[in-house]
A and B are shown apart, each in its own frame.
Chain A
Amino acid sequence: MKRLLPPDAASGARRPSRHFEDTGETMRRKAGSRIIPGFGVSLGITMTFISMIVLIPMSFLALQTSSLGWSGFWSAALDPRVLAGYEVSFLCSLTAALINCLFGVILAWVLTRYKFPGRRIMDGLIELPFALPTAVAGIALTAICSDKGWIGGALAPLDIKLAYTRAGIVIALTFITLPFTVRTIQPVLERLDRVYEEAGLMLGASRERVFRKIIFPEITPAILTGFGLAFARGLGEYGSVVFIAGNMPFKTEIAPLLIMSKLEQFNYGEATAVALVMLLVSSVVMFFINCVQSRASSFIKE
């Protein structure tokens, strides 16, 4: 069954660069003329769009940075309040991604292995966070978690606060990034051949041991990919978090919000410096995902 992953979760396994190995065909193609029509036009359209929407705007980011200078860049990027912002973003995204790894495995397992009433509806609901606008998710989660909310109200007598704390940020990010882990693990579990599990059980291994030794190694690359995607998305997430975070400097102020408030003060240089640091971190995460993917696929080829 073809699952609809969001294109961003559709990650490396389908990356076209890996399909380059058909060198024989490439050589032949280069020698002769191209058989299929439409090369010039489609390349032209693609390049025009990419230049106008991605390349030219991104180059202005580089331009702005170069006008900032080294000392200006460092003092903006390493300001204590900004460092606290990175810390909040980093820790909360990490926690949310870890929570989603755990529940991602459980949900993917339940959805692929068990039959129960409402399974299809549950399966369809998993992608709700992709479809629901983040601002709507943000105000809804804030309403639930605030002192007067359905959950926040129940926890208030116990002196547990969710809204306007880091716990609230984690809740929002968990909601937003849930589909990433479930939808990367689920297809792997669906394709998994049950023969090996059955053999393990027949040979007397316990269920727990079969999971640990046979199933878990198979889904590890998918878990890592889902983790990376969820983490990267969490770092950049803005819409759902601003409502629930309370946005206290040094405590619950996330890095994207810092960019936003610097922009509101027309402080474009400092905003660019913070943005570059975040871009660097998310590129590292994306690189990590690519490494996991290419290792996993080379493993399969062997």
Chain B
Amino acid sequence: MSLKGNIWIPRLLTGTSVIFVLLTLVLPLAVVMAEALGSGLDLYMRAVTDTYTAKALHLTLAATAAAVVLNTFFGLAAAWVVTRFSFRGKGVLSTVVDVPFAVSPVIAGLVFILTFGRLSPLHPFLEACGIKIVFAWPGIILATVFVTFPFVARELIPVLEARGTDEEQAAALMGAGFFTIFRRVTFPHIRWALLYSVILCAARAMGEFGAVSVVSGHLRGKTNTLPLHVEILYNEYRFADAFAVASILAVAAIVILAARNVVEYAAHKEEETNVR
């Protein structure tokens, strides 16, 4: 009996895994591309450069940018306060940060409809000010921010937690101010974690469907994001157009995935050289 064991088991398991990954992950990607280009390049270009597609792309980019900027800002503040200080209610605070993860996207959308929609006590006030949130772009941005809310904080908290506060305390005792400490002491340790939490946040914000679908009201050219535009085209049986628009998102997803792997590799490499 050797330690190697039966040589067929590794082959069988590897084969199963490869087939499973090909079927579940690679095949859908291939289908998107095949269906998008299946009706010819002309049709593809027309669908991709359509005015409504451009407007949807615009809104998707705006919502993604807003989610990334706001959640990075919030994530840094939340991670700082949760890991650098002890105070009453810290446990509750970090639980509340996680709430958006426990909530189905559709429910997230519903919550914003209840807050700003027709039935809300806030509605007369918003009406008087002429502010439209639900069924307009501010609602889409709010829903996207809600769904991606915990991403940055969740990624940074364990990293900062693991490093402890000694270095920051030393710097503070030597008279460094907040920004100096953050820039010189804290930031170098968290930049990789920050970068890939931002990448993840962007991926999720770009693809958010359920929450955005609820608050959008599906006004084409006004409150349509790219995923919603895909749905509308698909439901109108314009399959080639739907897949063409979907291919933009699929390519973006692949780019994001590649970026994430590069960042992980770079972080890993830096860690190794630091250890040495």
Contacts and interface: CB of A to CB of B under 8 A. Distances in A.
Interface in A111-127: 111, 113-114, 116, 118, 122, 124-127
Q: How large is the interface on A (under 10, 10 to 19, 20 to 34, 35 or more residues)?
A: 35 or more
Given A46-B93, A110-B14, A238-B210, A124 B253 contact: no
A188 interface: no
Interface in A1-36: 1-4, 6-8, 10, 14-17, 19-20, 22, 25-26, 29-30, 34-36
A19 B91 CA distance: 10
Contacts of A207: 5-6, 9
Given A53-B142, A60-B114, A35 B173 contact: yes
Q: How large is the interface on B (under 10, 10 to 19, 20 to 34, 35 or more residues)?
A: 35 or more
Given A8-B154, A128-B253, A139-B242, A236 B103 contact: yes
Nearest to A123: B261
A131 B83 CA distance: 29
B10 to A, nearest CB: 5
B160 to A, nearest CB: 9
B47 interface: no
A124 B81 contact: no
Contacts of B126: none
Specify the main secondary structure of chain A where it touches its partner. helix
17 contacts: A8-B154, A46-B77, A54-B97, A61-B114, A63-B114, A63-B121, A109-B13, A110-B14, A118-B18, A126-B21, A131-B253, A131-B256, A131-B257, A133-B227, A136-B207, A207-B6, A268-B110
Interface of A: 1-4, 6-8, 10, 14-17, 19-20, 22, 25-26, 29-30, 34-39, 41-43, 45-46, 49-50, 53-58, 60-61, 63-64, 103, 106-107, 109-111, 113-114, 116, 118, 122, 124-137, 139-141, 143-144, 149-151, 174-175, 178, 198, 201-202, 204, 207, 232, 235-239, 243, 256-257, 259-260, 263, 266, 268, 271-272, 275, 278-279, 282-283, 286
